[in-house]
Amino acid sequence: MDALIVAQKIWKDSYLFKTDIHAIIRCGNNNNEAEEVDKEDDENKQISLSPSILLPLPQFHLAYMPMRNRGEIIRLMLEESGCLYDLEIIGFKNWAEAVVVGEDEETTSYKARGDGGIGICNNIKATTPQGKCPVLRNYDGQDIGNDLGQEGAITRYLAKELKLSGTTAIEEAEVDALYCFWFSTMRNNGISHDGEHFSIASLRDAPPTNDRPRYQDVFRLNTLSKADRSLMALGYFEEQLDKSNSGYLLPSGLTYIDFGLFYILFELAEEDNVPDFVRKFNLPKLGLFLESIQNRSKIKDYILSPSRMPRYKRDTDGTSLYTYIEGKGSPRR
């Protein structure tokens, strides 16, 4: 389905838990375009449209709800790689409830009908390995394929497939350590994007400062405020960028953890959050890093694309409200 039509439907629903869309959009290179190729070149990976026109099959199929969150680091990797992939967008109502599939135009327009027929489909939650998403569908490419669950597993698997996990075993370990740090701090151990260990809401309300505790000096049990813990995480990545001296978190270049850090900083810099965080907290390396990643050609296109899911609103204390709101590169469609 066309990405703009999907985006318009999501914006019309306005609230994550009211979304009933179930659509698949083609993303990446050759999006919505047929490509003329030599028919002897790996025909098993192509769909024939005519004797001379073949459409390449997508390399990956990612399923997630209409939001950024756990799927964003994965999508940023896929977009940067330029590979062709399908994005299956699962509205919450379709995730949680059985879906009636009928002949009427409205239903067929917004439901991805796996069997092309009429009837009742089980809730999509029941089709996933652990009842959670994101999910990488048929990741092993077998006739009866297996789906891969868990954000971390999908991230690491795709990073290796897309050459974004480091160039040696030592670098892979270094990236993994940074990812684990990022997940336990900026991702609040996967529980929330705004919590005890990292909170954009707390940074929005914090006074300007050049002082922050160092993560290496703080004990696991501490009495630091949310703002101090958030600054501590930002400070650690500031130091890492200074140490690597490459513009990325690893000296050798771009890896998947860069995309994790990027999308957190991108949200932090939104106009309704802390757009001046670089000056407010004296984080020049992070400022240069954010500017560099968001201006990479494919990432810049993705930020402006209707295929990117919208943000949602948070309360003043950081609690998710799940109502879609506009953001940089993401106007109401």
Widest distance between CA atoms in the chain: 69
pLDDT 10s digits, 16-68: 999 999 999 999 975 443 332 233 344 444 433 344 445 678 989 999 999 99
CATH code that applies to domain 1-163+303-333: 3.40.30.10
Count Cβ atoms within 10 A of the Cβ of residue 214 and give its class: 0-12 exposed, 13-18 middle, 19 or more buried.
exposed
The domain ranges of the chain are 1-163+303-333, 165-295
Torsion of CA 38, 41, 46, 50, to 10 degrees: 20
CB atoms near residue 230 (< 10 Å): 27
Fold agreement (1-163+303-333, 165-295): no
> Phi and psi at residue 127, in whole multiples of 5°?
-90, -5
Write down the pLDDT at residue 32.
40
Nearest to 75 by CA among 195, 179, 162: 162
Task: Count other Cβ atoms within 10 Å, centred on residue 39.
Answer: 11
Closest by Cα among 86, 89, 99, 93 to 65: 89
User: What interhelical angle do 226-244 and 284-294 show, nearest 10?
Assistant: 70
**Helices vs. strands in the chain: H and E counts, helices first:** 12, 11
| Residues 89, 20: Cα–Cα separation, whole Å | 10
Give me the residues of the chain with pLDDT under 70, please: 30-55, 98-122, 143-144
The whole-angstrom separation of Cα 168 and Cα 32 is: 36
Q: Which residue is associated with the tokens 């073949």?
A: 54
Nearest to 31 by CA among 90, 88, 89, 82: 82
Q: Report the pLDDT value the prediction gives residue 121, as an integer from 0 to 100.
A: 53
User: Under 8 Å CB-to-CB from 12, ≥6 apart: which residues?
Assistant: none
Tokens of 91: 């509205």
What is the third-level CATH fold of 165-295? Answer: Glutathione S-transferase Yfyf (Class Pi); Chain A, domain 2 (1.20.1050)
Helix axes 169-185, 151-161, angle to 10 degrees: 150
Residues in the chain: 333
